[in-house]
Structure 1
Amino acid sequence: MSLSADLWRENRDLARKALEHPFVAGLGSGQLSLVSFRHYVAQDAFFLESFARAYALALSRSPDRAGLGEFAALISGVLEELDLHDAYARRWGVSLAGVEPSDATLAYTDFLLRTAALEDVGLTCAAMTPCMRLYAYLGRELAEREGGGPAPDNPYAEWIETYSDPEFEGLARTLEGLLDRYAPAREPGGRAVNATYRRAMTLEVAFFEAAYRQG
């Protein structure tokens, strides 16, 4: 089993907690409060800008040419996500200018940027992989619950379609491949990789909780 697969297996409890969270369940059913979703869109746009910057720091430290290309592709994927958030913002009257980050958002972005600025590229991958793998998992699970795709009248259908798309799964696998390549698998350094991965998963659940509380 690869390092990335092993870490995902070890953190399935948090993945399941995210899937069962009322925010994510509300996306699947279409019953999530629009107030909560508007808050999420603004906060996630702020987060994704930091996520792109963390990728850029990882790219600058890539030890080989292949890594340069893969991190560049991942940055492009984040920019496409930001375009999606712009579309949400226009549709539902969400301002993305001057977003005041919540405590949960700041905790996550500070963790990512501090890791990317101070640690090696392998540990940066460990901090970033959970977001990509978790969203691919949530999109797929929500789509499957609805018989292969969201109901046409679900206002959050586009969110589910985006993260259940094979293209997004491909981006998640690219990042997992980078994690497998650059991170120390186990000792020495293995504990840091495990702790960093789990911290990111914990922050993901907290991010959903903060958005849900707004509703």
Structure 2
Amino acid sequence: MRGIDEFGAADGLFRKLRAASGADWAGYTWHPFVQQLSAGTLPLKAFQHYLIQDYLFLTHFARAKALAVVKGESLAAMREKAASVLAILDETLLHLKYCAEWGLTEEQVTRIPETMETVSYTRWVMDRGLHGDILDLEIALVPCTVGYGEVARRILADSNRLVEGNPYQSWIETYGGDGYQALAEGAAKRIDALGRSHGGEARFQTLLRDFSMAARLEQRFWQQGLDACRADKIGNG
């Protein structure tokens, strides 16, 4: 496996954005939620809350990918994005099965409403796609895809990681596995390619603004699980 931060080309747009986003990116990819996943200490309620909202997020992620079909710069890109939409829709079914392994029924998952964190993130992504071009949309989407790949690498490199008996090992293996890592690498290379074809250097500051915003929204997405767990303790206290 390549280094933690080695997605995309060394001189490509993705790595430049990642480096320039600084604390926003670091706060997302090594958030306390992630650190507790690594240590195996994340409260079950926090993880269950995350799983439910992640399912709801996926439905909007599919819509954003569908918008990428409309915004696609070529027929080949449109075919690729259409395949991504179908893959995400299939993933929602797998996600429900995974939720069941954590004691969450399909009824529970589908009847709980979106949180403000989920709404703000997903609608912001759609807004960037509707008002911008394909590069604007892909910049809003890529922190999620590549970020999870980096999160897994960070956990696997963590000297304090709980290996034996970590209840979240299956989650770590999913995002640290070759399949997802290849997906993340492909997403970073896609940004590099769009940066060359759509004037990424000239638009760098605007793209950085959106890339950093997505990283901050990802932080809030992690944080809501921890907050929900604390609120539950206060309510029961």
TM-score (norm. length: structure 2): 0.82
2:180 paired residue among 158, 162, 168: 168
2:132 paired residue among 119, 142, 145: 119
Counterparts of 2:208 and 2:52 in 1: how far apart (Å)? 30
Residue 150 of structure 1 contacts residue 160 of structure 1 at CA under 8 Å; is this kept in 2?
no
Residue number in structure 2 paired with 1:89: 99
Residue 139 of structure 1 contacts residue 160 of structure 1 at CA under 8 Å; is this kept in 2?
yes
Gaps of 5+ in 1: none
Letter in structure 2 aligned against 1:133 = V
Q: Structure 1 residue 162: deviation in Å?
A: 1.0
Q: Structure 1 residue 190: deviation in Å?
A: 2.8
Taking only the aligned residue pairs, the percentage that are identical comes to 28
Residue 30 of structure 2 contacts residue 151 of structure 2 at CA under 8 Å; is this kept in 1?
no
Residue number in structure 1 paired with 2:157: 144
Residue number in structure 2 paired with 1:67: 77
Gaps of 5+ in 2: 1-10, 230-237
1:169-188 matched pairs, under 5 angstroms: 169-183=181-195, 184-187=199-202
Residue number in structure 2 paired with 1:106: 119
Q: Deviations over 1:120-150 (max 9, x none)?
A: 1110011011111110000111122269x96
Alignment length (residue pairs): 213
1:25 paired residue among 27, 32, 35: 35
Counterparts of 1:82 and 1:146 in 2: how far apart (Å)? 33
1:208 paired residue among 222, 227, 236: 222
Counterparts of 1:141 and 1:77 in 2: how far apart (Å)? 26
Counterparts of 2:86 and 2:157 in 1: how far apart (Å)? 27
| CA 211–180 in structure 1, closer or farther in 2 if over 3 Å, else same | same
TM-score (norm. length: structure 1): 0.89
What value does the CA root-mean-square deviation take over the aligned residues? 2.1
Residue 127 of structure 1 contacts residue 197 of structure 1 at CA under 8 Å; is this kept in 2?
yes
1:194 paired residue among 208, 222, 225: 208
Q: Deviations over 1:52-94 (max 9, x none)?
A: 1101111222121331233234335534543442123212232
Residue 45 of structure 1 contacts residue 85 of structure 1 at CA under 8 Å; is this kept in 2?
yes
